[in-house]
Structure 1
């Protein structure tokens, strides 16, 4: 069966961390270092709460855990410190998630435009994009380039606008509750391949355990299911 035989999305909107690249362990290390910097133990609950967040939201949750008053919250300084650390960690190695390269190639072969949609700030994301291949995407949108990052819908609405497609005609691929919530809020059908924590069922949302072994026919079927699953 060829791409002409199935209904395919107008564009595929890829999350990066935990979806294309197995970077969440790297972020674990960075977030733990941030917690230590503020005298907080990075519990599993705190780490799960920050998973997929943009930098401001993640910092806020660490500050809250540290009981830091507003006057002691140095967002700019701590963000710069985090960027420097994550850039250093990203430079070591960026492993792929299972099946990600094959699905990227499959979507490209079907002539479907792809965009990268990540909460990671541009300065850090560009390092990872170099590993993935910037030429795979018609555009990339980062969390510091919209007013509100995930779980707000802004980043997905911007991606759909850039590719000239209605959000409901696109397919997002996500791994986290934060990212899935953003796609849901934007009205984008989405495939969730969980990495570290479960994602609850919702409208426009379908699931697969891994990207490995995903065929074009199943890809189209998942898109059809996500489109017809009514909003919650």
Structure 2
């Protein structure tokens, strides 16, 4: 089992939204709703390019903005994260069944470690973060890396994702994909299974996706 984090297991996208709004205000601007939605599930370089374009400030210093944004998100994460519906129950059921499990996130390791205080580091055999791969989602590398570390063929792995970028990464990797949209609507994609939430999803249901 390969789990995305933001918007899939925990409702952290809204905290990223708070931090991005704060960064925009610091820059003397205001982030549009459309730009924010376009950032969901993307890498930091893509998100910051969208941010600069939306504010009309193409020459903003990337490293400085990323450092400030990361510190702000870390402060917000430190207060704990809210689980997405059904996510905690499913994760615990998967672990109880002895299924190898990985967390695959575009978020950098520093912030993922804070999130793991809510998720439980013991619930994952492997954690792959955005700053630990050469190419982030929607490239297949993150999911291929996680499957390799688990020693499980990617075609036998079920990925749970919420964003177009994450779904694209999982599909390109060749995984079985269960999409649970959160903040952004997902376009119909051949072979992708879609649920409105993880409520009611259990180990038996996941096993059925592999048959």
* TM-score category (smaller protein): over 0.9
Distance 1:73 1:42, change over 3 A: closer
TM alignment of 1:29-178, pairs within 5 A: 29-69=18-58, 72-178=59-165
Instruction: Specify every segment of 5 or more residues in structure 2 that has no aligned partner in the other structure, as ranges.
Output: none
Residue correspondences, number: 211
**Distance of 1:56 and 1:195 partners within structure 2:** 22
Secondary structure at the residue paired with 1:89? helix
Deviation at 1:221, TM superposition (A): 1.9
> Is the Cα–Cα contact under 8 Å of residues 34 and 82 in structure 1 kept in the other structure?
yes
**Distance of 1:17 and 1:47 partners within structure 2:** 14
> Is the Cα–Cα contact under 8 Å of residues 80 and 118 in structure 2 kept in the other structure?
no
Secondary structure at the residue paired with 1:190? strand
Q: Deviations over 1:198-228 (max 9, x none)?
A: 111213310111111223322222343xxxx
> Is the Cα–Cα contact under 8 Å of residues 152 and 182 in structure 1 kept in the other structure?
yes
- The correspondence for 1:19, drawn from 8, 20, 33, is 8
**Distance of 1:191 and 1:176 partners within structure 2:** 11
- The correspondence for 2:189, drawn from 198, 202, 213, is 202
> Is the Cα–Cα contact under 8 Å of residues 40 and 65 in structure 1 kept in the other structure?
no
TM-score of the pair, normalised by structure 2: 0.94
> Following superposition, which runs of at least 4 residues in structure 1 exceed 4 angstroms of deviation?
none
Deviation at 1:148, TM superposition (A): 1.4
Q: Which residue of 2 aligns with 1:5?
A: none
Structure possessing the higher radius of gyration over alpha carbons:
1
Q: Deviations over 1:27-76 (max 9, x none)?
A: 1101112222333322121011101112111111111223334xx33221
**Distance of 1:167 and 1:217 partners within structure 2:** 19
**Distance of 1:107 and 1:204 partners within structure 2:** 23
